[in-house]
Chains A and B, each alone.
Chain A
Amino acid sequence: MTQQLTTITETLVERFPGAVLKDERPGYEGYLVSAENLPEIAQFLRDQMGYDYLSSVTGVDYLPEGKMETVYHFFRSTGGSALELKVSLPRENPVVPSLVSIFPGAELQERETYDLLGIIFDGHPDLRRILLWDGFDGHPLRKDWQEPYYEEEAKPFKSRWPEGRAIRVEEKNIFKKNVKYPAGFDPETFTPEGDTSLFASLDKLKRHDEESGMKSDHIIINFGPQHTSTHGVFRMAAAVEGETIIGLKPAMGYLHRNHEKIAERNTYLMNMPYTDRLDYLSPLSNNFGYAIAVEKLMGIQPAERAEYLRVIMAEFTRISNHLFLIGSLLNDLGAYFTPMLYALEERELILDVFEAVTGSRMMCNYFRFGGVARDLPEGQLQKIKDLAFDRLPRKIDEMDRFLTESEIIRARGVGVGVLTPEEAIAYSTCGPVLRASGVPYDVRRADPYSIYERFDFDVAVRYHGDVYDRFLLRFDEIRQSIRIIQQAVRDMPEGPVQSGKPQYQAKVPAGEAYGRVEGPKGELGYYVVSNGKPNPWRYHVRAPSFINLTALEKLCVGNKVADVFAILGSIDIVLGETDR
């Protein structure tokens, strides 16, 4: 591996003399590149070196040094570890060339970085705010930005102890008086431009009919934000010609709470329960990714028994998530509630185990740095065995009989919303979307973490890239997860569930780490930067639901209006994670 890295360094330095520098700060990895050379280098990485998958784009504000950095994580779609590029920018005027023309998957991520950090991506086709609204003042992830209910730079707040006289934050900080608006902005006279700019982004599709000399306009249909099939508060504007979609733009952020800013005020451990609330259908996978990122920084290994417990819990999470997806996708297709309720039954039994082990059905908060919070209570191992060896295999087969051959599902799913493997990689899609398009990329195998190397399982893959294949792939994955759980239960050793003493103040040395896991929805990554203090300096979540939406337009164009929800349902998004 190190050999491989040296050759990469040599090649890059040789090819771009003066433009590529190894990042030598202690605890950091990757390369610092100059802004003007970035597109060239990215292209070179993709075409010559096989780094064809741009997983994550984000930025960091290094306020004390007066600079910002954009951070890119590239991977090979054939597997392996990350290649990280960083571009250092002046804080006053941070402009960096956009990578959208080379990696279309960067589109939404660059918009997000622009929105939250104010970094301008030169050449981006549609650089607008994405999570925040037009009347929002400033860029919240800049370190000198303060939220309306600002108390102190970092938790724990001094007012809580020893003189903690409780007061509600809204009493101290009166609502409406605490909000700042941009200069010249008056909320009373403001007419939202969000709609205009959202629709304007579809204007490129206006055609000028040469023959008749007539300008033909398309019709724009708005879906959501309140809509039963968007699985939350999510909005889309589609341009249609007749019944056929010719363009589609997602609009999101209705559930935005700036998870990342909250996390940067929190201490490391405090973030664990917050991660539950990202993708609230798979809390334990969220815990997993975060724990791995911080453990990387701390340089500790989790206890052996805890590794097995983590895998068992994460795989149960995958099963419950996929069951929920199967049910809700069928809901979207019009098979109201029977499949959903059948799926929920099995999910409930899984949640019973979560509740007994972690204390909560959905907000599990089970992982700790170096292990898990507690061992299995009495009787739960038997429950897990019952589910993994008896109930679930039986019930998945029943579900399969119940649904997969149904002519209606086939009619609605086969050939609808097709994504080719090349597109799937280019758009940085991940998880089941990527694998249903014929790319056998699964982080558990491609870049193994935890103890997945010890288990015998197949990477589920299907080849048509349509809604029906994405649906079937969920069944395949559930079956593989059951296999993993069976092996983990069989091999799990006795022993402590935490390495080291339980600590509420994690000592995290300065540096950066990118921890990623294969969540049920795809690659879930956490980019954490520490400066040695008790609170993370930067905390970024690479949210699979969010990034998979980059390909939504591609998936929908050419399909009928009614198929949009089948396609959206088959991607599997959760708005808690999309909007963060």
Chain B
Amino acid sequence: MDGHGIIKGLMVSCKRFIDTYLDDIRWFGRRYRTPEGIAHRMSKDTAGLFTVQYPEEKLPVPEEFRFIPFLVYEEDAEGNKIHRCTSCGICSKVCPPQCIWIVRTLDPKTGRPVPEPAEFYIDIDVCMNCGFCAEFCPFDAIKMDHDYEIAVYDRLTVNIYDKAKLSKPLSYYAMIRPSNYQKEEMAKAEKETLKAARKASGNS
């Protein structure tokens, strides 16, 4: 009990204290509020101050980050929004807290379902951000968002998102999840060529 252990411990915090300044000097001016600075602070070599000054600085979110789903739509030549969703209902069946509500559209003449949802709701108070809906949707029609700053004052009036609020363009999806998007497009193209090839061989 000679205090030797405490002194040893204090040396560690002292070294950390000095490192903070050394790192600041080494990264002169670029350590804070710059993307490289933040990347450096998230790397294995980070030393010194670790805190991120949110909201002035924000950590970049990785591609796989998931927060509240959105519905992907494509635009046709006239600028009409065409949802990829066919209202097949798989996402609402797989959703663990059962917060997806879908109204299927019926053709007024035939009474048959048409592949476009009449209404699509997600109660985002209930959504647990599990990502299952996006994972199991067979049409790549629902995807997880990156936008986590969605605090509101009154949850009772705004937090059941409807189809309009959930819809985001394909270009947005391609922007936040570039590599997933590429993979999906490639898989689709491959399928198309296979189909075409099969058709061609069937015709001949």
Contact = CB atoms under 8 A, between A and B. Distances in A.
Interface of A: 151, 155-157, 159-166, 168, 266, 269-274, 338, 341-342, 345, 348-349, 352, 355-360, 363, 365, 373-374, 377-378, 383, 386-387, 390-391, 398, 401-408, 410-411, 502, 504
A15 B144 CA distance: 60
A532 B11 CA distance: 62
B64 interface: yes
Interface stretch (B28-36, B68-76, B97-105, B186-194): B97-105
Given A166-B123, A363-B129, A377-B62, A160 B4 contact: no
Interface in B144-168: 144, 156, 160
Contacts of B6: 406-408
B8 A401 contact: yes
Interface residues of B, number: 52
A163 B92 CA distance: 11
Given A161-B93, A162-B89, A349-B44, A360 B129 contact: yes
B66 interface: yes
B114 to A, nearest CB: 12
Contacts of B89: 160-162
15 contacts: A156-B92, A161-B92, A161-B104, A165-B121, A168-B123, A269-B94, A273-B128, A356-B62, A358-B64, A360-B129, A363-B128, A365-B131, A401-B12, A402-B12, A405-B8
Nearest to A357: B64
A502 B8 CA distance: 53
> Residue among B46, B104, B130 with the most chain A CB within 10 A?
B130
A274 B121 contact: no
B105 to A, nearest CB: 9
B9 interface: yes
A151 B42 CA distance: 45
Contacts of A504: 90, 93-94, 132, 136
Nearest to A394: B44
Interface in B1-53: 1-6, 8-9, 11-13, 16, 42-44, 46, 50
* In the complex, the 5 A-B pairs of residues with the closest C-beta atoms, listed nearest first: A405-B5, A164-B101, A166-B121, A162-B104, A356-B62
B125 to A, nearest CB: 8
A235 B89 CA distance: 45
Interface of B: 1-6, 8-9, 11-13, 16, 42-44, 46, 50, 61-66, 87, 89-90, 92-96, 98, 100-104, 113, 119, 121, 123, 128-132, 135-136, 144, 156, 160, 179
Nearest to A406: B5
Contact of A270 (B43, B61, B94, B103): B94
B136 A502 contact: yes
A259 to B, nearest CB: 12
A163 B103 contact: yes
Contacts of B2: 407
Contacts of A165: 101, 103, 119, 121
